[in-house]
Structure 1
């Protein structure tokens, strides 16, 4: 998906007007409209501000999914988690630790069964 379409989609998903976005990143609304219409490309500084405002990484704005590795989606989710408050992050860490422990336990049990059966 081209940058212009991605900017439009993300802005609308957050319920922001073009004026809201322009105000948030400190540019004139006409500049934002040019970004969304693919008539101009944001500077690096503006791109950084846009990524923060839209709660995504600059990689997400610039690269299509097929251009990145399969773990990229997970990296984007971790990026989004980093935007949450400490309490929300703690809950997510607990859930992840629980899932990882559960997975490792299953692997260990499976390996132990294979070893027992082979004896």
Structure 2
């Protein structure tokens, strides 16, 4: 009889798979980035294996998403999206984007 899958494992696995596919990474590429095997990643994505705090950290770093997003979902999804977009900007030009973001935040805070 197959063991019951925990909801948290299914949810976290689905988030990892969704982010991996969004970034057009194979399991092998994610394995190289995270330090875990492609077989382990497959088991995690299917919800058959849970993650330790160490592996959550490794996957969040490898996928450039927050640990909060991995554990809780939509709560921090925007953060990971913004980080991935910021990483695509050449280092020399990032300061301009950060200045624009800071100005937008300041403007939004003054309009409340």
TM-score (norm 2): 0.69
Equivalent of residue 83 in structure 2, options 66, 72, 80: 80
Tell me the CA shift for residue 90 of structure 1: 1.1
* Contact 2:66/2:80 (<8 A) preserved: no
User: Is 1:89 matched up with 2:94?
Assistant: yes
Q: Which runs of 5+ in 1 are unaligned?
A: 108-119
Structure 1's 79 and 49: CA in aligned 2 closer, same or farther, altered over 3 A? farther
Question: How does 1:10-29 map onto structure 2 within 5 Å?
Answer: 10-29=19-38
Q: How many residues align?
A: 99
Which has the higher Rg, Structure 1 or Structure 2? 1
Aligned counterparts of 1:89 and 1:102: Cα–Cα separation in 2: 20
Aligned counterparts of 1:87 and 1:42: Cα–Cα separation in 2: 36
Q: Which runs of 5+ in 2 are unaligned?
A: 1-9
Aligned counterparts of 1:63 and 1:4: Cα–Cα separation in 2: 12
* Contact 2:65/2:81 (<8 A) preserved: no
State the SS of the aligned residue for 1:19.
helix
State the SS of the aligned residue for 1:24.
helix
Aligned counterparts of 2:37 and 2:109: Cα–Cα separation in 1: 52
Structure 1's 90 and 13: CA in aligned 2 closer, same or farther, altered over 3 A? same
What is the match of residue 62 of structure 1?
A: 71
Measured on the aligned residues, the alpha-carbon RMSD in Å equals 2.9
Deviations 1:73-107 (A, max 9, x none): 66x269727x74653431123213433565578x5
With CA pairs under 8 Å and 6+ residues apart, which has the higher RCO, 1 or 2? 2
TM-score (norm 1): 0.65
